[in-house]
Amino acid sequence: METQIRKLDYKAIDMDVIAEAGKVVREGGLAAFPTETVYGLGGDALNPASSEKIYAAKGRPSDNPLIVHIADREDVYRIAAQVSEQAKRLMEAFWPGPLTLIFPKKPLVPDKTTGGLSTVAVRMPSDEIARAFIRAAGGFVAAPSANVSGRPSTTTAAHVAEDLSGRIEMILDGGQAVIGLESAIVDVSEEKPVILRPGVVTRAMMEAVIGPMETDLAVTAPDSGIKPKAPGMKYRHYAPRAELTIVEGETEAVTAQVNRLTAEAERKGKRVGIIATDETADRYERGLVKSLGARQHEEEISRHLFEVLRSFDETEVDCIYSESFENAAIGQALMNRLLKAAGHRVIRV
C-alpha cells in the first residue's frame, strides 16, 4: 500500500484533504494525524476490524486498549456509561486538551477497541486538525501513538512515515507536535480518580480542581511486578536501540561524571551519545552530544525528547548518557518517559 502524505496549514486547514482522510477512516482504513501531544494512528473506533488493523500496523499486542478521540464534548455521553461529577469537572477544566479520562463503556464501543476491558479511554484533543479530522471520520477515532510498538512516540509526520509508511493509507502532516509527550491518563471509572500516566496536565493542576488524587503505583516503581492499570504502561517503551543511562545529581557533578563515563566507554571502543541541554552542551568533551533545548524552557525539553531518542537510532552509538530533569514542573511526565526509555538505569552522583 502506498501511504499518502498530505501537508496541512493550521491557518487555513484544507477541508478537502480532511474529508479525504475522514473517508479513509469511515471506509475502514487508517490515517495518522497530528495532535498537540504526539501523532495518532487513527481508525474508526466503532469498527472492530479497524482496531484490528491498528494493532497489526503498530505490531501492538491486542490486549492493550486504544484511546477513543472525540471532537465534541457531548460525544462522551454516547460511549461512556457513566460520567462522574469529578470527571465532569476535569472535562470542564482540561478539555479540549492533553488529558485522557477512563469511563465505564457503553456496548457501542467494541471490545476490540478496549482490549477486552469494560472501560473506555476518551480524549478530546485541542489540535484543530485533529478535531476536524475526527468529525470527518465519523466522530469516534481510536488512536494510539503513531509509532511501531516499543519505539518512541512520533512528534512529526516524517517520524510517522519512518515507522508506518506502506502500512497505512494516509498521514496528515501538521508539523511538529507542540507538547511532545502523550496525554495524562486518569481513571474516573471508580469513586477515587487515579492517575495512570502522568502528563503536562499535572497532578497539582487536577487536584486544584477536584481535590486529592492517587497515582497508580506502577507509574513510578521500576519493575516492581505491580500490574499497571493502564495495560500499555507494562510494555517496554520509547526505547532507543543503544543502551540509555540517566545520570542524576548536581549539574557540575553530572557533566563531570558523563565525561568520565564517556572517556571510559570510548577506551573500550564504544561510541557514546549524550543527551544534554543548551546550558551544558559545550561542557561535554567527547561523544555525540544532542541538546533537548534550554533547561529553563521545560516545554522545549519535553517537545524534543522523543525526537532526540529517535535521532540516536540513525547514528552508530552503542550507549547513551542522559542528564536528569527531576525538578521541572512537568518533570514527572518527562522523567516517566525517560526512565522507561532507560529501562530505569540510573546513576546517582
Report the b/e string of 247-277 with b at 16+ CB within 10 A: bbbeeeebbebbbebbeebeeeeebbbbbbb
Q: How far is the CB of 221 from ligand TXA (least distance, A)?
A: 16
Piece in contact with Mg ion (CB under 5 A), picked from 75-83, 84-92, 144-152, 219-227: 144-152
The Cα-based distances of 202 to 147, 167, 183 in angstroms read 24, 35, 10
Identify which of residues 306 and 321 has a Cβ nearer to ligand TXA in the complex.
Answer: 306
Q: Where are the alpha helices (DSSP H) in the chain?
A: 15-26, 48-58, 76-79, 85-94, 128-136, 157-164, 203-210, 251-267, 298-312, 331-341
Q: In the set 47, 145, 156, 324, which binds Mg ion (CB under 5 A)?
A: 145
User: Least distance (Å) from ligand TXA to the CB of residue 321?
Assistant: 27
CA angle 339, 344, 346 (to 5 degrees): 95
Using the minimum distance from each CB to Mg ion, give the nearer residue, 115 or 287. 115
Q: How many whole angstroms separate alpha carbon 307 and alpha carbon 313?
A: 10
Q: Which is nearer to ligand TXA, 17 or 179 (CB)?
A: 179
Q: Which three cell numbers stand for residue 299?
A: 516545554
Nearest residue (CB) to ligand TXA, 105 versus 295: 105
Distance separating alpha carbons of residues 195 and 215, to the nearest angstrom = 5
Which part of the chain contacts Mg ion (CB under 5 A), choosing from 93-101, 142-150, 189-197, 267-275?
142-150
Please say which residue, 37 or 277, places its beta carbon nearer to ligand TXA: 37
DSSP state letter for 44: E
Asked whether position 322 contacts Mg ion by CB under 5 A, the answer is no
Specify the residue, 43 or 293, whose C-beta has the smaller distance to ligand TXA: 43
Q: Which residues of this chain interact with ligand TXA, rule CB under 6 A?
A: 35, 37-38, 40, 64-67, 100, 102, 114, 117, 119-121, 123, 143-145, 182-183, 185, 196, 229-233
Pick from ligand TXA, Mg ion, none: which does 38 bind, CB < 5 to 8 A by kind?
ligand TXA
Number of amino acids touching Mg ion (CB under 5 A): 1
What, of ligand TXA, Mg ion, none, does residue 21 touch, CB below 5 to 8 Å by kind? none
Four-residue CA torsion sign, 57, 63, 64, 69: positive
- Rounded CA-CA distance 100/103 in Å is 10
- Nearest residue to ligand TXA on Cβ basis: 232
Round to whole Å and give the CA distance between 199 and 192.
19
* Partner whose binding site includes residue 239, from Mg ion, ligand TXA, none (CB under 5 to 8 Å by kind): none
Contact between residue 130 and residue 215 where contact means Cβ atoms under 8 Å apart: no
Q: What residues make contact with Mg ion under the rule CB under 5 A?
A: 145
